[in-house]
């Protein structure tokens, strides 16, 4: 059952996840710069390998401290992005399907304009029981 309360709760959670994701992304960027600045002097060539972030051998002790923080904040960022997308999908799946009111004349609607009303209808039924309706020309 989809109510306004459910909508408000999911929107508030989505905004909270979004804010946490931005903060976590900022921490990830800072830790990335600090990690890249603390490569072991004899292993600077490891900067060209993306997998070097997972190998502590490439970094100094201080670089390893920031590398671990980078991996944790990056993992949290990925979890927040996935949960934000999942929450959006949940919100859309709980929303009721809106029925189209066909042929209802409302102010400003095409159906309420007499100049666009068809002048006549013709209905034909074929041998399989299917009916086709043809509309006449407008006035």
CB 135 within 8 A of CB 103: no
pLDDT at 123: 64
pLDDT at 77: 95
Token reading at 130: 């299917």
- For residue 8, count CB atoms less than 10 angstroms from its CB and return exposed for 0-12, middle for 13-18, buried for 19 or more: exposed
**Distance in angstroms (rounded) separating the CA atoms of residues 127 and 52:** 72
**In a structure prediction context, what are the per-residue pLDDT tens digits for the chain, which is 139 residues long?**
567 788 888 889 999 999 999 999 999 999 999 998 888 888 878 777 888 888 888 889 999 999 999 999 999 999 999 999 999 888 888 777 654 444 555 555 555 555 554 555 566 677 777 777 666 554 4
pLDDT at 68: 95
pLDDT at 138: 47
Can you give the three-state secondary structure of 61-79, one letter per residue?
A: HHHHHHHHHHHHHHHHHHH
């Amino acid at each position: 059952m989809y109510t306004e309360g459910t909508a408000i709760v999911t929107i508030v959670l989505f905004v909270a996840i979004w804010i946490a994701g931005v903060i976590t992304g900022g921490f990830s960027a800072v830790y990335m710069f600090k990690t890249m600045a603390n490569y072991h002097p004899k292993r600077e060539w490891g900067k060209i390998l993306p997998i070097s972030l997972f190998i502590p051998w490439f970094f100094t002790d201080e670089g390893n401290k920031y590398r671990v923080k980078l991996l944790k904040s990056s993992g949290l960022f990925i979890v927040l992005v996935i949960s934000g997308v999942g929450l959006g999908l949940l919100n859309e799946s709980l929303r009721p399907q809106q029925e189209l009111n066909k042929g209802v004349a409302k102010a400003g609607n095409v159906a309420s304009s007499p100049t666009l009303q068809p002048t006549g209808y013709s209905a034909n039924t074929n041998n399989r029981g299917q009916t086709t309706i043809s509309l006449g020309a407008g006035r």
